[in-house]
Structure 1
């Protein structure tokens, strides 16, 4: 049985869902409108960081609460949770990639192509949402 704090999971899940909702809204804009407006791009970067951070925090929560192996970095966090059966390897690899992209957003934010951000909005937000679905399912089956 996996130990977790229900209030913490609820709060982080809410943050993740709100970020994904904002990202989906931005992803509905035409590419030219999005990439041409620095405020929209900045908003997307912020919500990507919040969404990925919330997923990382959820993963770290069960890792810490259950005294599993400590991750070496943010990407490794998803690998450890995957090893404990929370989701399959394919999703785990996509989440690890997203964690690395989060690092780029934080540390090299000026060198990220706006078209790449738009592509993420259109193609990869579902990975964060799928993480949450699988995460909650794993907690409930225990």
Structure 2
């Protein structure tokens, strides 16, 4: 298995998380009233979540003949094949739904929700990267 595309996406996740961490010191008011800042956060969340979903699809394609048709299936599929714990896969389902809001329902984005994720959920991206790195290390 060529892990190069997976490693590249792990790097994208790390870059997005680092950019998001730079915004964590902002108050909600500073964040919400600066369009450039909250737009940047939304985009970095979108990119990082998309990279997670892409990695999941690649791994599932490698491990089975059928890749799930939707993002929920990708997240849960990673638990089914033992790459992620089931409870963490459920968190990813929530991330995928958030990504869909950012991409398709951009008029309905709740900045308080974005700010909450900024303050409390960046570790989930790092945990995902850790799980994937551990899985890739087993392949060697």
TM-score by length of 1: 0.92
Structure 1 partner of 2:79: 82
Show structure 2 runs of 5+ residues with no match.
none
Question: Residues 34 and 118 of structure 1 are in contact (CA less than 8 Å); yes or no, is this contact kept in structure 2?
Answer: yes
Paired residue total: 139
Larger RCO (alpha carbons 8 Å, 6+ apart): 1
2:29 aligns to what? 32
On the 8 A contact 1:69/1:80 being kept in 2, the answer is no
SS state at 1:10 partner: helix
Match of 1:93 in 2: 90
2:136 to 124, 135, 139: 139
Q: CA RMSD in A?
A: 1.2
Q: In the TM superposition, what whole-angstrom CA distance separates every residue of 1:22-75 from its partner, at most 9, and x where no partner exists? A: 111112212211111111110011000000011111111111122343212112
Contact 1:71 1:77 in 2 (8 A): yes
* Alignment-derived partner of residue 126 in structure 1: 123
Counterpart Cα distance in 2 of 1:39 and 1:69:
40
Runs of 4+ in 1 over 6 A off after TM superposition: none
In the alignment, structure 1 segments of 5+ residues that lack a partner are none
